[in-house]
Structure 1
Amino acid sequence: MLNKHTQGFHPQTWSQAIAQLETQSVPYVLVTILGTAGSTPREQGTKMVVTAEDIFDTVGGGHLEFRIVEQARAQLIEGQSAQDLQHFPLGASLGQCCGGSVSVLFECFVPERLPVDVYGAGHVGQALISLLAGLPVRVRWIDARAELFPPTLPANVQTIVEPQPEDAVADAQPGTATVVLTHNHQLDFAIVEKALRQGASAFLGVIGSDTKAKRFRMRLAHKGFTDEQIANLTCPIGLSEVPGKRPMEVAISIAGQLIQQYQNELPNAQREGLQWRELRGVLQADEPTLVEVNHD
């Protein structure tokens, strides 16, 4: 079944689906019929959205749509944002009697959102969350004090009320940026210790002073952590080039460090995607052949 979660097709249009999927950071493929020739199920410009488990809208049904969904899901398995342009003759090979052909653009969108775990809902945590709302990150905001969380949250933020916040480390995604901003030094250390043992953090930063950082590193060494593991700890957290002790100043410094983190992971932009010659070649396959007729 093309839709695994529901019977039949979803009621959302392709544009409504994209809005929902972007909010949820779900990878998807936007399918667009770029060109048609002869008799085809749908006209040029028709769109549909395909995820690993669902489809939204339709480009005409039948075996053509089955092949398109199959191709879109193959792109999703690649796990990278990309574009692909393919030509489908609607003949015996697709089991459709239309007799025309379509050129289809597949645009795969894989959200590149850094997972960020923020421990602590105090003044700096509140200020930091307001900044992270506008960045390509997915945030788990963790604290034992439910009353500190605001009633409304950015779409990319999930709150977790955990009596023992350090226990949330077990559910951290690989490659997480762990930001420790709690009100308690012992709790900070417990989170750091668990995060280093689990090894899921691509970045581990703790708010504090140089003195706190020295004490933490000594305690970690006494607990048997290697120099290489201890070197993964960033304390004090934040960019040294951004001074200031106000909550928003500290939050801006931390946000800048997180921006550096995900920017460093982006590939260097080279010549990528469909080039004009390739694009023109596929589109020309849909152009009708012009035949001169002699009226004499």
Structure 2
Amino acid sequence: MTFSPADIRRLAPVARVVVAETKGSVPREVGASMLVTAETLEGTIGGGALEFEAIKSARAALIAGTDRFERKPLGPSLGQCCGGAVSLLTEIWNERRLDALVSDVIARPLPGRATEQPLAVKRVLAHHRSKGMMPEPGIFSGWMIEPVTHPRRSIWVWGAGHVGRAIVSVLAPLPELEVVWIDTTRGRFPTDIPKSARTLIAEDPARLVPHAPAHAEHLVLTFSHALDMELCHAVLSQGFGHLGLIGSATKRARFRSRLSALGHTSAQIDRMECPIGDPALGKHPQAIALGVAAAILKSHREGTEMLGERA
């Protein structure tokens, strides 16, 4: 997992712990990270005892104001039976360092390593500039390289009821997604809105649809069938990436008829998915959210390519 510049700026000064290298059986992949302050923790590198030790080390690094690079065998000393090993890079992100987050790819030497950029790193960065390919995170000749996560997909969730809350709670932590959450009043939202979700309030939500980007993916699940219809009509009347409507086969049939009467073609209406999620998982809000999230994560993403030699 790469990281979100917005999260780091929000918490700075913050210690970011990232899995830089793995060997054998390990809890998380290279790039998995967590953000540690003196009192808070966001994200996870997994591993139970490994994470507990990493948090203590990160808070000590915050006090000292120095980066750390540590190799951790996942054996009896940590009370774990994975049998592998991980290398953790802990970096202190403060005001003087935040300018680096404007780049698409960040390359920096590990603590104590030479600051002259190795050939392998130059080659990775040159390939990125010329081909536009994002490198996978990892260590290249003693340097850590990571792509900076900027949201690539915009998910607009219309409705803050039980299903909307469940869906947002699952999607909002994913750094590659921008989640925009809309309802008619502030009181319809929960008190614990995920920090990464952007909320919009509108007495007439359909008037906000033209403000969504043409590639936005819409999930319509309001408290009102009439409002659902207005939103579907508005979305189908402009460019969009995906349209999902909560409901049943019966609701889909009724909406098809009404949308057709409003002038939408069969081809346009066919782009509307209803019901959303995986019906086999059930109708509980969390079950619907799991189905929706799985479908989003399985859909097409931009590919990544492993570049350069690592050492």
> What band does the TM-score fall into relative to the shorter chain?
0.5 to 0.7
Residues 12 and 175 of structure 1: CA distance in aligned 2, closer, same or farther (over 3 Å): same
SS in 1 for 2:182: strand
Alignment of 1:120 onto 2:155: no
2:250 partner letter: T
Q: Is contact 2:136-2:306 (8 Å) kept?
A: no
Structure 2 residue aligned with 1:225, among 247, 250, 264? 264
Q: Is contact 2:186-2:201 (8 Å) kept?
A: yes
Residues 225 and 29 of structure 1: CA distance in aligned 2, closer, same or farther (over 3 Å): same
Q: C-alpha distance in 1, partners of 2:170/2:145?
A: 33
TM-score by length of 1: 0.59
What percentage of aligned pairs have identical amino acids? 31
Residues 83 and 16 of structure 1: CA distance in aligned 2, closer, same or farther (over 3 Å): same
Alignment of 1:245 onto 2:283: yes
CA apart distance, 1:118: 0.3
Match of 1:273 in 2: 307
Match of 1:32 in 2: 108
Alignment of 1:234 onto 2:287: no
1:246 partner letter: H
CA apart distance, 1:224: 2.0
Deviation per CA, 1:194-216: give whole Å up to 9, x if none: 1111112x221011111110111
Residues 155 and 27 of structure 1: CA distance in aligned 2, closer, same or farther (over 3 Å): farther
Q: Which has the larger radius of gyration?
A: 1
Q: What is the aligned residue count?
A: 212
Runs of 4+ in 1 over 6 A off after TM superposition: 11-14, 103-106
Match of 1:137 in 2: 177
Match of 1:82 in 2: 135
Q: C-alpha distance in 2, partners of 1:249/1:106?
A: 37
1:210 partner letter: A
Matches within 5 A, 1:7-86: 15-16=92-93, 28-33=104-109, 44=113, 80-82=133-135
Q: Which runs of 5+ in 1 are unaligned?
A: 1-10, 35-42, 47-58, 65-71, 85-102, 280-296
Q: C-alpha distance in 2, partners of 1:143/1:154?
A: 15
Match of 1:197 in 2: 237
Deviation per CA, 1:180-227: give whole Å up to 9, x if none: 010111111111111111112x22101111111011111222222222
Residues 171 and 80 of structure 1: CA distance in aligned 2, closer, same or farther (over 3 Å): farther
